[in-house]
Amino acid sequence: MKRARPHRLKTEKFRMPAEQQWPAQRAGDLTASVIGALFGLHPRETAGGLFAKLTGVKGLDREDNAVMEHGRELEPLVAKYFLRDHVGWKVTKARVYVRAPMLRFGATPDFFLIDDQGRRGVLEAKTTTPKRFAEEWTDQTPPTWIALQCLSQMILTRAEIGWVSVLIDDGWKFQRHHYPIPRHEAAERRILDAVTQFWADVAAGREPKYDYVRDASLLPVLYPHHVAGKVVDWRGDNELPAKLDELEQLKAEIAEKTERKEAIETELKFKMADAEAAVVTGWRITNREQHRKEHTVKASDFRVLRIAREKAKEAA
């Protein structure tokens, strides 16, 4: 696996005439916005999801939503507030997609900037809520996946400096924080090595280690149908019997707790009789009628996982 050097990367640029009009090349590239997934650090993307998407599996693209649209609408305001705190700097909207074709690695910077010393760089604009800021950011550092995103943009644009600027929107006013992202040779080497390894794995058909919590939604897309007559032999897997025992125990505990939960709820309903509401110190309880419109469930095919212990004769 040949290692690429950041300062020797051959890059190409594509103009973007308007927001969200991505060049066709972007669809087949690893991009800076999801690079954190290769290190298990991205909040919405995983290495397994990237592998599936970039090997041609359909139905995995994230749909645009109101939160993403709101963030784009606030982008110019992020730049405006950044300039208030950095008088004499220049910030311009970056309407380009930059990629390293040999690595199939690209980035779409939010803004280009020039500081008061004439150094050129990139500015990554983010928006968040007070709650998410408290959970994911500090006053000194942005989330690591965002720092990696900015650093990837710096590699591809050969920027001298990089900044991340975030607006914290509580619905009434904005707070802002700005974070310098320095060039870091070791971190840049890890990014490029991870990109190179990812594409080497794709070429060899080596799937990444799946995240069994976050990648659950991939299953119906990757394996929607069973193959009739196909059986896998796991008798040599020493870990599975313990996991199956644990699963059986968890199911029993869930059933017991569900039964107890339903018993308490039924007791409350009997005690309320035909009352609409009940008041208990520290609690408010309602039991109102709700109308559900008639609807038809469309026919569909899906796989069902069933697990049962073998009887002694079957095991023998």
Domains of the chain: 6-218 (3.90.320.10), 238-289 (no CATH)
Query: Which residues are within 8 A (CB) of 43 and not within 5 positions of it... i.e. 6 or more apart?
Result: 136, 143, 145
Q: Across the 316 residues of the chain, what is the mean pLDDT of every consecutive 10-residue run?
A: 69 80 82 96 94 85 64 85 96 94 95 96 96 94 97 97 94 91 95 97 94 91 90 94 95 97 94 92 90 83 72 59
pLDDT at position 57: 86
pLDDT at position 20: 60
The distance of Cα 280 from the centroid of its chain, to the nearest Å, equals 42
pLDDT at position 9: 85
pLDDT at position 171: 80
pLDDT at position 292: 83
The span from the CA of 264 to the CA of 154, in Å, is 58
Pair 155, 192: CB distance under 8 Å:
yes
pLDDT at position 173: 85
pLDDT at position 204: 95
Beta strands in 254-308 (DSSP E): 277-280, 283-286
pLDDT at position 113: 97
pLDDT at position 196: 97
The distance of Cα 191 from the centroid of its chain, to the nearest Å, equals 18
